[in-house]
Amino acid sequence: MKWESAPKPRLTNQSYKSNYLPKGITEEERYKKIENRDMILTEKEPLFDAAEILRFGKDLFYHNNFTSNLSGLDWLRRHYPNHRVHQINLPGDLIPTHIDACFTPIKPGVVIINPNRKISSEQRKIFDDNKWEIHEAVPSIHNSPPPMCYSSIWLSMNVLIIDPKTICVEATEEKMIKQMESFGLDVIPVPFRDVYAFGGSLHCATTDVYREGDCEDYFPNQ
């Protein structure tokens, strides 16, 4: 594990687009901005949340979103020259949504995706070329988040992979548990819903400090 510090953001007015949401803007106009990748951040300085990055062995997938700009993507590419960094966009919501509630690797060769946040055919290509399966995630059994939680109900996708055969899923998410079992995984139910109010689920609350094995290349065809 490498524990490193990203550039410290200054977050001045120059980091944000002025009057990004003018008075009277319609919801349709806001969706159009997102579809056109017109986000509130400028490229004045590298800005990103760690939760906008997924690592698949040698490859890093970077979610260009409300909380991550292209300057951050460029910094990662320069800082980790031995990794391949890919931009991914998953439009769908009008609010910031981290990638681990949108697009989640389950085991080598299998990914689940939030059905409300489609991936384009262009961005699917790397997965199709390397014979990865992309499945739509089943919906949460809950119609709303718990009290004091401002995350979406798609925290049901926020799972923790222990190894290629074992995965932790929030204990009440019975549909997700069954979907993981259908992929041949052993599921460990973990009561974690009371933690949602702190801003995430199992994947958000953990970080790897040690794993056995090598840094695999899951996408040799690029």
Nearest CA to 15 out of 37, 39, 51 is that of 39
Examine the residue annotation and report whether 102 is marked as an active-site residue of this protein. Answer: no
Catalytic, out of 59, 98, 102, 149: 98
Token readout for 210 is 């040690």
Catalytic, out of 102, 149, 168, 204: 204
Nearest CA to 97 out of 186, 204, 206, 172 is that of 204
Alpha carbon distance 56, 66 (integer Å): 23
Alpha carbon distance 135, 143 (integer Å): 21
Q: Residues 6 or more apart from 166 whose CB is under 8 A from it?
A: 185, 186, 188
Q: CA 134 from chain center: how many Å?
A: 14
Question: DSSP string covering 82-129, please?
Answer: TSEEEEE-----SS---GGGTEEEEETTEEEE-TTSPPPHHHHHHHHH
The residue type found at 166 is T
Rg of the chain, C-alpha, whole Å: 18
Half-sphere exposure of 127 (CA within 13 A, CB side): 23
Examine the residue annotation and report whether 49 is marked as an active-site residue of this protein. Answer: yes
Examine the residue annotation and report whether 79 is marked as an active-site residue of this protein. Answer: no
Alpha carbon distance 49, 68 (integer Å): 6
Residues designated catalytic: 49, 98, 204
